[in-house]
Structure 1
Amino acid sequence: MFRRLFLTMLILVIIIAGSGSVLLAEENEIEIAFIRATGEPYYQYGSQAAEIAAKKLGIKMVVYTSNLDSAQELANVQDAIARGCDGILIYAVSLSSERAAVDTASKAKVPIFFQSGYHPDLLPLSAGFMDNSLKEFSKPLGIWMANNLEKGKVAIIEGALGRGDAEAYTEGFKEGLSQNPNLEIVSTISAEWNRQKAYE
């Protein structure tokens, strides 16, 4: 995760420097906003890795949490712009909330870079997207279960729906699991990336 976020931060710094909006001098330290969808451990680890990357790159970073709320996410984007952040790195709450975030940042001429949630319509207005094939990432787990369970009922606990990554994880897992026709998926529910909710 650190390497991926380091490269993302580096790309964002290059975009900011190339835009001419920031002089790379000590008195004009670059500040990037890191907006995470929730405060769950996965996103905490992501922001911790980004903080390490920011330190290595000599830039300042401020962290926001959207609490899976698109209105809070937009408020975070607006606050980052108001405080003068030079760029925004965001794990959006959903694909629909990305539109408001990218429109707001674009109007303010602040580069915004998305972690996950790629949509081709938003690419011209954003600094970019970093995504990977989550379907292929989760498929081996389904294959492992198909090979190691003779038969049975399977429940799937998903992350937060709406951005595309939770859906892709589920799709890949189901595809791998389908190699064993004696395994039946009996329930699919969302725990919204919340471990406690998943246990309940």
Structure 2
Amino acid sequence: MTTRRRVAGASAAALLIMLTACSTATTTGGSGPSQGRKTSPGVPLKGKTIAYIQTGGIPYYEYTKQGFEKAVTLLGGTPRTFNSNFDASAEVANVQNAITSKVDGVVLEPLSNATVKSDLTALGQAGIPTVVLYGYDQSLERDAVGFQGTRYQDTGAAAGTQLKALAPGGQVAIITGTPGRADVDGFNAGFRQALGDDSRVVETLNGDYDRQSAIKATQDLITKYPQISGIFVHNEDMAIGVIQALGNRAGQVAIVTQNGSPDGVPYLQKGLIKASVGWSPTQEGVMSARRLGDYFSGAPAAAPLCLTPFVVDTPTEPTKSVRWDATDDVIKGSLQTPCATARP
């Protein structure tokens, strides 16, 4: 499932219009590579080396990398990726490697919120402007160029609204990603709030963002609750495991999931996944690179947190959300996509 990197031709840069919105907050001072003359809005990263510090090698982050690398290239820069492989010590080492390599900017996707502050402190002392993908904290706004990502509670709430409509009565379960992560807590909180009746949630089981773990969790679930009417699953890969574990019963259970990944599309088309709250990691990679471009070109500052747009994919519209494939249309469209508005 590992994807290949793709790099767009330099001629595509001439097709870009002036970059829009979603720019910067204030970054820390220093005497590192970030200082210098403002760049051209058309190629704001010209002559710049921009690093992406990647959480791990699963498809979601691989697609983020593709979007980041294509966007940096289109904006005139040179992309470089450091993969932390889900290891906090490797993340710390990657931050230091980026500093030692004298990169001009960083897109940081941390393992957890716990490492963001120390990472930003080190990068700030080196004078390297940084955009953080997931890990927003109001207290850190002055330490980063900006933050990018979905708001976990919002996507969870969208999933809760869908499941409430699809299964208005009966028992409901949640199969989560790795417990203790901010995304998992946010998804669950938003989902429960939108569902409205917390007593319906009979089990919350750990799927660990892993298909085999989700299969085991579902087998345990249906042994205890054979009449389960709806399951909220935190991503499509686990949802496929849920479908496999349910067997012939899969079509009778309202399965609602998230991410909008390519793997989920066939299951939406068959009606086995009833709804998926979809957004594009590729688009997130592009929008993060754009924020650094805005910083270097001196574009007007926008809100510190730029939200990635999301929509609900359904069996009748299984590819309504922005696709994950790093096509030219997705890259160029994402360079012009405004930040989304938070749910009230």
TM-score, normalising length from structure 1?
0.78
Distance (whole Å) between structure 2 residues aligned to residue 152 and residue 133 of structure 1: 27
Kindly report which structure 2 residues correspond to 1:120-199, keeping only aligned pairs within 5 A, or say none: 120-149=138-167, 150-159=169-178, 161-162=180-181, 164-178=182-196, 180=197, 183-189=200-206, 191=208, 193-199=209-215
Distance in 1 separating the partners of 2:202 and 2:160: 11
Cα separation, partners in 2 of 1:155 and 1:132, compared to 1, 3 Å: closer
Q: 1:23 to 1:135 in 2, by over 3 A?
A: closer
Rate the CA distance shift 1:197–1:91 in 2: closer, same or farther, 3 A.
farther
Query: Quick one: percent identity of the two aligned structures?
Result: 23
- How does the TM-score come out when normalised to structure 2? 0.48
The CA distance in 2 between the partners of 1:131 and 1:121, in whole Å, is 17
Corresponding residue to 1:42 among 46, 52, 60: 60
Whether the 8 Å CA contact 1:160–1:166 is kept in 2: the answer is yes
Higher relative contact order (CA 8 A, sep 6+): 2
- Structure 1 Cα separation of the partners of residues 211 and 72 of structure 2: 28
Pick the structure with greater CA Rg. 2
Q: Counterpart amino acid of 1:45?
A: Y
SS in 2 for 1:137: helix
CA distance, structure 1, for counterparts of residue 51 and residue 203 of structure 2: 41
Q: Is the 8 A contact 1:146 1:177 kept in 2?
A: yes
Aligned to 1:60: 78
The CA deviation at 1:153 is: 3.8
Deviation at 1:167, TM superposition (A): 2.0
More helix by share: 1
* Residue equivalent to 2:105: 87
- 1:132 Cα deviation from its structure 2 partner: 3.7
Distance 1:77 1:7 in 2: 29
Superimposed CA distance per residue, residues 105-157 of structure 1 (whole angstroms, 9 cap, x where no aligned partner):
01111111101211122222222212443312221211221222231241321
Q: Aligned with 2:139: secondary structure?
A: coil
1:103 pairs with one of 113, 118, 121? 121
Partner SS, residue 72 of structure 2: helix
Superposed CA deviations along residues 28-51 of structure 1, whole A, max 9, x for unmatched, are: 821111012121111111111111
Q: How many residues align?
A: 188
Q: Aligned-pair RMSD on alpha carbons?
A: 3.3
